[in-house]
Amino acid sequence: MNRPAVILGGTWQFPDPHILTLDSGMQVWAFNLPGQYIAALEIVMPTSLADEPRSIEGVATVALHAVDEGTHTHPDGRITELLELQGAALRGGAAQNHTRLGGDAPAHRLPAVMKLLAEVLEEPAFAAADIEHHVEMQVASFDSRVASPGWVAKQALRQVLFGTDSRAGRPAAGTPQTLKAMGRDDVIAWHAARWGATEATLILAGDLTGVDLKTALEPLNTWNNRATPATRDPLQTLQPQVVLVDMPAAVQATIQVGCLTVGRRHPDWAALKLAGHAMCGAFASRLNLELRERQGYTYGVGGGFTARRDDGQFSVGGSFRVNVAADALSRLLSGLQLEVPFSEAEIADAKRFLVGIAPLANETASDIVRQAAALAAVNEPASFVNEHFAALEVPSAHAVSAAFRDHISRDGVSVAISGPAQILMPALQAAGLDPVIVS
């Protein structure tokens, strides 16, 4: 029996939004997606965790999670009930340089949902009991995270990349000490100063056929709060470090390796994305084949290049048997030397995957909103997606190898390891590494 030929589909394009500006100053990106009857929405605000008072870090996260617990008009959870009656629920996150609040709702109910959303934005009650509840939730979440070797290693890497004097080097949602120090007045003050319509962007996607956007978005015209401009968290120039977080009870060693790099607007960005996929971003990537398939040291490693607001970051990591972790790290660092350049087959495979996965990664209204919101958060237009996919088709294997070698080296990366120091330290020292034990 002959197998049918498999033919790649045509070039996929990220949709173009209809852009408009509300009377409040908020910009709207509206994506009409026929057939997507469940619409997605997200408001992106250019807040900065660097503006949190250091004594109450985590206030941005608490404010976000408590904002829809009740309003002055509909207190004690009633506003949430009203949203649920419309088939809507809100969610979001407070990141280093922006806050996102959004959710999903039936497209034909957007006018009613927008009225409720405007109420949440303009008049949150921030009841003391709700603030206390969310502080407790964040403290419990922190306690859970610090028990995870994976989170500990990632946080330790952030600490050595950015330094503890930088907000980016400290936990994004605060610590128990800073969370417990905040009160209702702190949350109200953060919302009043940092949430505002003028610099915000609303991303909306779904089947908007028949939806009168002007009428639907009218409630948001009254949200006219002008937020205080966000502070840029200055970066320090730190030397690469190797650190070890002692977790005596851990049955595995978790390793995270990384460094800061150029960002999405650098000429090498497309080549670096391809290199990251070929090095550690796929099951058949070089480091995964070496450390999982050939050596059997791990269930898998993963990583690659990610863009930040003004620059980028390379990272790779995984969990390993404690008795082989030092050798695994040595092999990983050796792989980053790229002694053998990438082959044309490796880069062709990376191109097929990164370009070919785009339709699946942007299949739903929520996918479109998530991608567009990530771009709005860094002042990039939605058209960047198509520009990037076109750029991925260009670099040769030689250009990809050259870009990786220009920006990544064994001596230029920092390493964070979590696990039992009593076992790991001697093995790491024998491998020529001399980590510093940190908390």
Query: How confident is the model at residue 6, as a pLDDT?
Result: 60
How far apart CA 355 and CA 361 sit, in angstroms, is: 10
CB proximity list for 91: less than 8 A, separation 6 or greater: 101, 102, 103
SS3 content of the chain, % helix, strand, coil (to 5): 45, 20, 35
Rounded (5°) CA angle 345-347-353 = 105
Per-residue pLDDT, 46: 95
Instruction: For strands 242-246 and 436-438, give the pairing.
Output: parallel
What does the DSSP 8-state code read for residue 204?
E
The span from the CA of 325 to the CA of 317, in Å, is: 11
Of 247, 248, 259, whose CA–CA distance to 162 is shortest?
259
Q: Which long-range contacts (CB under 8 A, 24 or more apart) does 370-374 make?
A: 370/40, 370/42, 371/14, 372/17, 372/29, 372/31, 372/203, 372/205, 373/42, 373/44, 373/100, 373/102, 373/201, 373/203
Phi, psi dihedral angles at 6 (to 5 degrees): -100, 120
> Which residue shows structure tokens 């949200």?
223
What is the structure's pLDDT at 1?
Answer: 59
Give the distance between the most distant pair of CA atoms in the chain: 73
In order of 144, 146, 322, 339, 416, the CA distances from 150 in angstroms are: 12, 9, 14, 29, 10
Q: Give the whole-number percent of the chain exceeding pLDDT 90.
A: 92
CA dihedral 103, 104, 110, 115 (to 10 degrees): -30
Specify the amino acid at residue 217: L
Q: Name every residue whose Cβ is closer than 8 Å to that of residue 38 and which is 6 or more positions away in sequence.
A: 104, 105, 106, 107, 206, 364, 365
Report pLDDT for 396: 98
Q: In this structure, is the dihedral angle defined by the CA atoms of residues 185, 188, 191 and 194, taken in order, positive or negative?
A: negative
Strand order of the sheet with strand 38-45?
18-21, 27-32, 201-206, 38-45, 99-106, 89-94
DSSP 27: E
pTM of the model as a whole: 0.93
User: Helix 384-392 crosses helix 269-276 at what angle (to 10 degrees)?
Assistant: 70
Strand partners for 106: 38
**Which residue from 282, 305, 320 is spatially nearest to 419, judged by alpha carbons?**
320
How would DSSP label each residue in 32-97?
Answer: E-TT--EEEEEEEE---GGGS-GGGTTHHHHHHHHTTS-BSSSTTTHHHHHHHHTT-EEEEEE-SS
What distance in Å separates the CA atoms of residue 281 and residue 102, rounded to the nearest whole number? 29
pLDDT beneath 50: ranges in the chain: none
Tell the burial category of 137 from Cβ atoms under 10 Å away from its Cβ (0-12, 13-18, 19+).
middle
